[in-house]
Chain A
């Protein structure tokens, strides 16, 4: 198992350096040099320009610049934001919990509905229930979620007044940021009702972000169930006279869930991409909105650092999924 882990980890190293190279190259591909970008539209006089180029090390050979950048990154230094003047990593770590919280709630929503619905479709194959589930999941899969979010806001926030339109918490509450996870922080604080309010704010964004994973999970669960239900051991279980509930719930489901676990892991990329749109619609202060805003403000160090961090998060999650899969299924662990 350790060998399997190390092989997988080693496979990530070239990818990691590739991503840093991509991110490093990005800022140099933007028309104009970094100092001109820093100066913005006001312009800058040539002597000051040369001085700053030297100060930031932009006049050195590109290879040396990349070497310095890599050393900084490995020490956790992603540069300073041009807007907040704070280290990029610091900004990222403050905002990231908001995105994780939203993503976890979205995936819980997707699982709570996607799994039962997928099982139902698999068991009732070819019946109206199956067709309905498949039609709805294909619709969910095709959903432009930025529009879906706006529709839900019109229906539930504007017309029915059930949910708040944006943000993580009502202005009436003041919560000390301890973990930056709003659900935890509100529980820790003694403000009454703030936890429920935070939960309230999470409902619509979670539904919007969870829609595509929900569709994928439902489809995957269905096809995985279909495969398992045609196995010999299921026929044996049925022949033994076990109740249908026991056959489906115990014998089939356990084995059907293995591929589903992988799919859930692979949804991380979808979630982070979806977070960009969802956070923009709901003014959710997470990394998705931060990245879009940073691009709009031409805050390139933040964009660079943010993309690198997102790529690292996805690589880590994929590694964990690989390991879990190896843990569940020894054939994969021992295959070369």
Chain B
């Protein structure tokens, strides 16, 4: 992606002069990330959502499963008939929607983290093996990935859930498996690109063992594209897990997971718009934040765009 005008330094920020000492790479990355206002906004939203999730017990006005028998389907505070103690209204059994959304942030973030941990680590392992050994191992691994890629990821996830049975954990595993091919492909391509470089030969000549060569020498130099992919797939993981929840195959009620909340909300399309609107909005905002941050990270990490 070509450089956004937003990545051109703002007037207030002094440009880095060549006669100064070079910046620490992490600091340089941070500076070029911050120049992208969208990415910064995304990061801020992510931090807010994460804080809400961590401190949900203190922030949420009500317990997520508490049913208020006198307040079924109360509209949001500002709407006619709304009550000030239920800011975003209540659902059909009188639970506070805002509190459920805040607790739901926990599920979405944890889902994203677990999915990325599983698919990143196994994908990297497979990709490094394929790129390092080539030959039959590579052929087998990459063919398997091709097969997985020929089935749409949501459909593959649905099939895996059908095998494992519905539930939050199974949905997470299913989504993680469907993301494997992307990580494997990127890792393999990066490893193959690095293997021809001289520092690898030097390391090999000086007697580095295979494991050391694979994971200590080559892998760290392949991480940039993998980190970007991980950030961007974090948002996909949240979306896909919510979609599975929506189809009734992910988290089961009464779990306050955003997608699961929407599955129940379908009945209220005609009568209670707030039950439908807010969980989806929460998904959209969180996913958008991760995509913004991921795009910014990609631009910051891509050396071709560096000044």
Contacts and interface: CB of A to CB of B under 8 A. Distances in A.
A147 B235 contact: no
Contacts of A18: 143-144, 146-147
Nearest to A143: B284
B5 interface: yes
A147 B276 contact: yes
A226 interface: yes
B275 to A, nearest CB: 10
Main secondary structure of the interface of A (DSSP, over half): helix
A270 B246 CA distance: 18
Nearest to B249: A295
B90 to A, nearest CB: 18
A30 B249 CA distance: 15
Given A153-B269, A158-B269, A146 B262 contact: yes
Contacts of A253: none
Nearest to A277: B243
A208 B159 CA distance: 23
B284 A150 contact: no
A330 B144 CA distance: 29
A273 B284 contact: no
Given A144-B243, A150-B276, A276 B154 contact: yes
Nearest to B239: A144
Contacts of A69: none
Contacts of B158: 276, 291-292, 295
Contacts of A226: 2
A19 interface: yes
B26 to A, nearest CB: 26
What band does the interface of chain B fall in when counting residues whose beta carbon is under 8 Å from A?
35 or more
A254 B140 CA distance: 39
Contacts of B247: 276-277, 280, 292
Residue with the highest number of chain A CB atoms closer than 10 Å, among B144, B269, B281: B269
Given A277-B243, A292-B158, A151 B235 contact: no
Interface in A127-169: 135, 138-139, 141-144, 146-148, 150-151, 153-154, 158
Interface of B: 1-2, 5, 38, 143-144, 146-147, 150-155, 158-159, 162-163, 165, 235, 239, 242-243, 246-249, 259, 262, 265-266, 269-270, 273, 276-277, 279-281, 283-284, 287-288, 291-292, 295
Would you list the 9 A-B pairs with minimal beta carbon distance, nearest first?
Answer: A147-B280, A273-B152, A18-B147, A273-B154, A126-B5, A142-B288, A142-B287, A269-B152, A144-B283
